[in-house]
Amino acid sequence: MAALECGISGLYSQPRVAGKTIGGGMIRSRISNLLRSVGLGLGVVAGLWGCASDEPEIPDQPAEVLYTNALNTLEDGRAPQAAKLFEEVERQHPYSTWATQALVMAAYSYYLMDDYDSAIPALENFIQLHPGNRNAAYAFYLRALCYYEQIADVTRDQGNTEEALRALSDVVARFPNTPYARDASLKLDLVRDHLAGKEMEVGRYYLKRDLYLAAINRFRTVVEKYQTTSHVPEALHRLVESYLSLGINDEAQAAAAVLGYNFPGSDWYQDSYALLATRNLQPEQPKEGSWLEGAF
């Protein structure tokens, strides 16, 4: 899943790191703002040494030198080495402004490597220590991306999908007037659709095995929690099927009525209408007290 290119990055010429494209005018603008936030211009300290992956340790150096070497290393497409260098800034100069920036840059380096298990704790640490920092919005957003990009197929566990839902919702709630919130809102729609798809997959499994009550619970969850997703018409039709199989005709008729009212041109409604007709039934408005009464 592609990430919004509006995060912290370097002054790249379109290299690729771990399958992620780095660069573009928006990214260069973001890194420019980032560097200015710590008093570093675009023509600053040149790297005094390169970081080889087999070096046993990094000698003590001024914070700005370490940070710039880390940034140059990241620009060269060596994200693993850059992550270690950014961490070294925080280790050698823990109370400096550079260290604050280095925390989130280390997390970004891990993100570029798809090393989410390292990126997420680093971001959590940054958020906990610096909730009011100017880059807090990006840290929240990047944490959400780390979960979002680990979303699995609907046939598998959806733990990361749930975490992505929470993290993306956090971005929208905390930083509503930012590009991060706008992109998070779009991704939230996809996440909800994915979670609804999981409910449908499980519901169909139960329905095929005549476990109607278990199936109804899954389809009802889609109708009640994920009303804006593409799965709702099918969920309502499956409710018609399940209720009819249990002989609960009034709920089946109500589900068909809700389906017809909200999705009148849907093939699922045509199927539900035809299914009711085989039993000499028609869609009817939900009765008072039915959970479908307030579904839409």
| CA distances to 112, 152, 234 from 53, in Å | 17, 32, 54
Calculate Rg over the CA atoms of the chain.
26
CA distance linking residue 122 with residue 125, whole number of Å: 5
What is the residue whose two structure tokens read 């880390």? 70
CA distance linking residue 271 with residue 274, whole number of Å: 5
Per-residue pLDDT, 55: 54
Cβ atoms of 125 and 135 within 8 Å: the answer is no
Q: In this structure, what token pair is assigned to residue 65?
A: 């030198």
From 166, 174, 173, 175, select the one nearest 143 (Cα to Cα).
166
- Residue 212 dihedral angles phi and psi, to the nearest 5°: -70, -40
Q: In this structure, what token pair is assigned to residue 217?
A: 């619970």
Beta bridge partners, 17, equal 20
- CB count, 10 Å around CB of 167? 24
What's the pTM value of the predicted model, to 2 decimals? 0.73
- Residue 36 dihedral angles phi and psi, to the nearest 5°: -65, -30
Domain layout of the chain by residue ranges: 16-40+63-150, 199-294
What is the residue whose two structure tokens read 């990214």? 27
Which superfamily does CATH assign the domain made up of 16-40+63-150 to? Tetratricopeptide repeat domain (1.25.40.10)
Which superfamily does CATH assign the domain made up of 199-294 to? Tetratricopeptide repeat domain (1.25.40.10)
The pLDDT tens digits along the chain (296 residues) read: 334 433 443 322 222 333 454 333 333 344 444 444 443 333 333 333 333 445 547 766 777 888 988 899 998 899 999 999 999 988 888 888 898 899 999 999 999 999 999 999 999 999 999 999 999 999 999 999 999 999 877 777 788 899 999 999 999 999 999 999 999 999 999 999 999 999 999 999 999 999 999 999 999 999 999 999 999 999 999 999 999 999 999 999 999 999 999 999 899 999 999 999 999 999 999 998 899 987 77
Same fold for the pair 16-40+63-150 and 199-294: yes
The one-letter code for the residue type at 102 is A
